[in-house]
Amino acid sequence: MNIYVILKRTFDTEEKIQIENGEIVEDGAEFIINPYDEYAIEEAIQIRDEHGGEVTLVTVGDEEAEKQLRTGLAMGADKAVLIEDEDVEDGDQFSTQAILAAYLQDKDADIILGGNVAVDGGSGQVGPRLAEQLGFNHVTSVVKIDIADGKATIEKDVEGDQQIVEVSLPVVVTAQQGLNEPRYPSLPGIMKAKKKPLETLDLDDLDLDEDDVEGKTKTVDRYLPPEKEAGKILEGELDDQVKELVSLLKNEAKVI
Amino acid sequence: MSKKVLVIGEVRDGAFRNVSFEAIAAAKEISADGEIVGVVLGDNVSGLANEMIHYGADKVLTVESDKLADYTPEGYSQALQAVIDQEDPEGIVLGHTAIGKDVSPKIAARIGSGLVSDAVGIEAAGEEVIFTRPIYSGKAFEKVVVKDGIVFATIRPNNIPALEKDDSRSGDVQSVDVDIKDLNTIIKDVVRNTTSGVDLSEASVIVAGGRGMKSEENFDILQELADVLGAAVGASRGACDAEYCDYALQIGQTGKVVTPDLYIAVGISGAIQHVAGMSNSKIIVAINKDPEAEIFQIADYGIVGDLFDIVPKLTEEFKKVLV
Ligand SMILES: Cc1cc2nc3c(=O)[nH]c(=O)nc-3n(C[C@H](O)[C@H](O)[C@H](O)COP(=O)(O)OP(=O)(O)OC[C@H]3O[C@@H](n4cnc5c(N)ncnc54)[C@H](O)[C@@H]3O)c2cc1C
Ligand SMILES: Cc1cc2nc3c(=O)[nH]c(=O)nc-3n(C[C@H](O)[C@H](O)[C@H](O)COP(=O)(O)OP(=O)(O)OC[C@H]3O[C@@H](n4cnc5c(N)ncnc54)[C@H](O)[C@@H]3O)c2cc1C
């Protein structure tokens, strides 16, 4: 099986967000593999261990993303590719789709796994977009995958309901929480990862022009939500607190 | 600005989800005096079409086929492609629901357009339309404009108010014939998890329980509170993982994203992945025995104490006040 994982380097989930002049301040922030992409990597490794083949990690980003690729290699992926995205104007999900598709179009992938959503950008677009450009089927929000005879039987989460679908390969799937428990890289895994191949490409290598991948949308501002006033923690006898709460909801907040 | 905007309605259990009507209001914001064209896909849906007109659509196109009875990416995208080819719209809006999230990027890639996902606000500024959407799990927001091509967006349910329903409005309902080719995705089975009538993502009051509920039986006290308030019951991942309730109730980044007027979090610690799904609620009440619990940081009102004492008292008090 020819298995690919698309992954994004994102802010650590617990990181406090700061914004200056409409830009997210990245200095000093911790970065991680997007949590949903960790499920994708784990599943890819399990599919390879069952069916044979190779797992290749692909990310579009800057050179800092090498760290997240090495982590994925330490988990057990075989190879990694970093596609550098500098010089692209207003990169958006279309840009990421176009760049990933340019790389993947001649790779004969059987399955491409990604995350359901990136915890920073949060659009959930890249997986289905990529599938469409490559002419692959796609299944989003998957919690179970079985592969046999060139077909994948997939359980997907649909707003809390489960749907079992069967699709023929090649397919792009996006991982939902519940798919598996991602392993931690082992020490030998980390040592081995240092020697695993990590290729760095730029747009030229993919025969892409900056104009081909310029975003179709543009972020004009980023801001923090207005600081919420400290909430009112009620005090006194419990019975009085309950009365007060109901009265506040009715008369002050006017929501009941 | 008289752009033509398609609004793709979503039918579930024989009725429109409310976000379909909210999408019509969003379309009006994108194009105040343009034509708003409703689109309904399904097996037997033309009888519903007029409702989109009552909520502000000028005409409605229906595509009916047994291959559209259940959502599949190829079935829906073939039908929508045919409608897009026929209408040549300048905008498309639909709900950021399981279906909306799944099909919209596929269509955007197919027509080579941008897509603004999960918008919570839309404002027209001259020729431009500015979308507001949450980023970083709701810790920040961004404003996005479309630079090039069609204005295509999915909207988060319960954020952009629908227009007042006007039953006297009328308009054309036309069916579009589409020969849906064989589908590559075969739906083998659907497991519907038991849920009460109220759709969580559309509920105006939600009572949600966490791991602090301690058992499945204890969720009954939440249901009693919810019944008094006409609320829906939700849950944290912690409660679902502990099998106190079904995953269909899960709220958060991996579960449902909700924006009710009132959210009562009971025995929920307030992990960021949970907060991502409810922080836009208008009023948040937290009930937790741990005064340091993160949930108090986003709560408007809080009671520190044992939920098993507080919730029954609260139910009684609401009963008194609401009758
Ligand atoms: C050239 C370029 C320039 C950019 N410039 C900016 C910028 O200036 N400011 C800014 O905020 N953002 C920038 N971006 C990022 C872009 O706006 C989106 O964040 C990105 O396209 C992913 O969208 P998302 O975060 O909504 O991810 P989602 O669509 O939610 O991600 C879903 C899944 O897709 C996969 N995926 C997502 N992104 C990548 C990736 N980069 N590589 C591999 N797999 C991925 C992962 O599996 C992920 O779980 C740029 C992107 C590109 C390509
Ligand atoms: C990728 C990823 C995605 C995730 N997605 C989601 C998601 O969508 N939704 C989600 O909810 N979580 C999600 N999580 C999990 C999340 O991180 C938390 O683990 C989860 O929300 C915790 O649930 P909880 O608050 O019920 O449990 P806990 O954190 O255990 O909190 C229980 C709370 O109950 C209180 N309590 C206990 N007993 C009582 C009592 N008698 N009276 C009053 N209070 C009491 C305690 O003080 C505590 O604050 C995700 C995690 C990951 C890694």
End-to-end, the C-alpha distance of chain B in Å comes to: 49
> How does pLDDT run across A152-173, given as a tens digit for each residue?
999 999 998 999 999 999 999 9
Angle B263-B265-B270 from CA coordinates, rounded to 5°: 115
Question: How much is the average pLDDT of A63-69?
Answer: 97
Report which of residues B37 and B183 the model is more confident about.
B37
Q: Whose CA is nearest to atom 39 of ligand 1?
A: A8
The finding on whether B254 has its CB within 6 A of some atom of ligand 2 is yes
Contact A160 B256 (CB under 8 A): yes
The pLDDT value given to residue A50: 98
Radius of gyration from C-alpha coordinates of chain A? 22
The pLDDT value given to residue B199: 80
> How does pLDDT run across A87-106, given as a tens digit for each residue?
788 899 999 999 999 999 99
Test the A interface: residue of B185, B193, B295, B307 with most A CBs within 10 Å = B185
Q: Which ligand is nearest to the CA of B256?
A: 2
Contact B272 A231 (CB under 8 A): no
Residue A238 has pLDDT above 70, yes or no: yes
Tallying the residues shown for chain B, one arrives at 323
Q: Does residue B143 belong to the interface with chain A, where contact is any CB pair within 8 Å?
A: yes
End-to-end, the C-alpha distance of chain A in Å comes to: 57
Residue B210 has pLDDT above 80, yes or no: yes
Q: Which atom of ligand 2 is nearest to the CA of B250?
A: 9
Can you say whether the dihedral through the CA atoms of B267, B269, B274, B275 is positive or negative?
Answer: positive
C-alpha B76/C-alpha B41 separation (Å) is 7
What burial class does residue B283 get, using C-beta atoms within 10 Å of its C-beta: 0-12 exposed, 13-18 middle, 19+ buried?
buried
The pLDDT value given to residue B85: 97
Q: For A12, which residue in chain B has the nearest alpha carbon? A: B136
Find the largest Cα–Cα distance for chain A. 71
Provide residues with CB under 6 Å of ligand 1: A 6-8, 34, 36-37, 58-61, 85, 88, 91-93, 95-96, 99, 114-115, 117-118, 120-127
B63: β partners:
B41
Contact B205 A233 (CB under 8 A): no
Q: Structure tokens of A35?
A: 């949590």
Test the A interface: residue of B76, B254, B274 with most A CBs within 10 Å = B254
Q: Structure tokens of A80?
A: 């990694």
Sorting pLDDT into bands at 50, 70 and 90, what band is B194?
low
The closest alpha carbon to B280, from B305, B294, B300, B266, belongs to B300
Q: Does residue B312 belong to the interface with chain A, where contact is any CB pair within 8 Å?
A: no
Q: Which of A24, A113, A126 to mutate to test the pocket of ligand 1 (most atoms within 8 A of CB)?
A: A126
Contact B261 A255 (CB under 8 A): yes
- Is A67 strand, coil or helix? helix
What number is the ipTM of this complex?
0.96
Residue B42 has pLDDT above 90, yes or no: yes
The pLDDT value given to residue B2: 67
Question: How much is the average pLDDT of B176-192?
Answer: 91
**pLDDT above 90: percentage of residues in chain A:** 94
What residues contact A167, with CB distance under 8 A and at least 6 apart? A137, A139, A151, A152, A154, B184, B185, B186
Test the B interface: residue of A20, A137, A163, A171 with most B CBs within 10 Å = A163
Contact B237 A246 (CB under 8 A): no
B residues 57..116 contacting A (CB < 8 A): 72-74, 77, 97-98, 101-106, 108-110, 112-116
> How does pLDDT run across B115-133, given as a tens digit for each residue?
999 999 999 998 899 999 9
What burial class does residue A232 get, using C-beta atoms within 10 Å of its C-beta: 0-12 exposed, 13-18 middle, 19+ buried?
middle
Q: For B311, which residue in chain A has the nearest alpha carbon? A: A242
The pLDDT value given to residue B183: 85
Question: Could you say which of A132, A217, A238 has the minimum Cβ distance to residue B116?
Answer: A217
The pLDDT value given to residue A88: 84
> How does pLDDT run across B158-181, given as a tens digit for each residue?
999 999 999 999 999 999 999 999
Mean predicted lDDT score pLDDT of chain B? 95
Distance from the CA of A146 to the center of ligand 1, in angstroms?
Answer: 28
Report which of residues B146 and A15 the model is more confident about.
B146
Report which of residues B199 and A52 the model is more confident about.
A52
Q: Which ligand is nearest to the CA of A181?
A: 2
Report which of residues B323 and B238 the model is more confident about.
B238
Question: How much is the average pLDDT of A33-44?
Answer: 98
The pLDDT value given to residue A230: 84
CA within 13 Å, CB half, A78: 15
Q: Does residue A14 belong to the interface with chain B, where contact is any CB pair within 8 Å?
A: yes
Question: Could you say which of B135, B149, B247 has the minimum Cβ distance to residue A122?
Answer: B135
A244: β partners:
none
The pLDDT value given to residue B71: 95
Residue B195 has pLDDT above 90, yes or no: no
Question: How much is the average pLDDT of B143-158?
Answer: 96
**pLDDT above 90: percentage of residues in chain B:** 92
C-alpha A256/C-alpha B11 separation (Å) is 29
The pLDDT value given to residue B99: 98
What burial class does residue A28 get, using C-beta atoms within 10 Å of its C-beta: 0-12 exposed, 13-18 middle, 19+ buried?
exposed
Residue B1 has pLDDT above 80, yes or no: no
The pLDDT value given to residue B10: 98
Residue B197 has pLDDT above 70, yes or no: no
CA within 13 Å, CB half, B83: 29
Residue A75 has pLDDT above 70, yes or no: yes
C-alpha B82/C-alpha B90 separation (Å) is 15
**pLDDT above 70: percentage of residues in chain B:** 98
